């Protein structure tokens, strides 16, 4: 399992130290959200434990309102989390949008 197992369709979001892409798994054609975190940023900003904690929490959580983590792997320059893709975006973005409308 690695980046070569996916066709990157488009960028769908970005955060403080990551970018999220829509990826299509070449094995079965399913779509996934792929969070890509820069290794150099992790090391420079001393965020290694934060990323490890995020991965471990995502592995443990099993709830219908939380994106499931299917795979995590690394490339030469990045750590990648492959999880459920939900049309409409992440929860934080939806909450921000909702508050602007009310």
pLDDT in tens, 61-79: 988 878 899 999 999 999 9
- From residue 42, how far is each of 35, 39, 48, 56, 70 by CA, in Å? 14, 5, 6, 16, 22
* Residues forming beta bridges with residue 18, ordered by sequence position: 37
Q: Are residues 14 and 37 in contact, defined by beta-carbon separation less than 8 angstroms?
A: no
Q: What span, in angstroms and rounded, lies between the C-alpha atoms of 63 and 49?
A: 24
pLDDT of residue 70: 95
- CA-wise closest residue to 51 among 61, 60, 41: 41
> By the 8 A CB rule, do 86 and 100 touch?
no
Mean pLDDT (whole number) for 14-23: 88
For residues 30-39, average pLDDT: 95
Residues sharing a CB contact under 8 Å with residue 78, sequence separation 6 or more, in sequence order: 36, 37, 38, 39
d(CA 52, CA 82): 15
Q: For residue 17, what pLDDT band results from cuts at 50, 70 and 90?
A: confident
Q: What is the pLDDT of residue 20?
A: 93
Give the pLDDT confidence score for residue 43 in this predicted structure: 87
């Amino acid at each position: 399992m690695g980046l070569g197992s996916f066709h990157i369709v488009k960028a769908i979001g970005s955060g403080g130290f990551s970018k999220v892409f829509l990826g299509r798994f070449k094995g079965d054609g399913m779509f996934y959200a792929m969070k890509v975190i820069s290794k150099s940023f992790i090391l420079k900003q001393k965020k290694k434990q934060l990323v490890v904690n995020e991965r471990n929490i995502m592995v443990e959580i099993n709830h219908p309102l939380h994106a499931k983590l299917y795979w995590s792997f690394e490339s030469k320059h990045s750590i990648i989390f492959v999880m459920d893709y939900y049309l409409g975006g992440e929860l934080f973005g939806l909450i921000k949008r909702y508050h602007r409308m009310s």
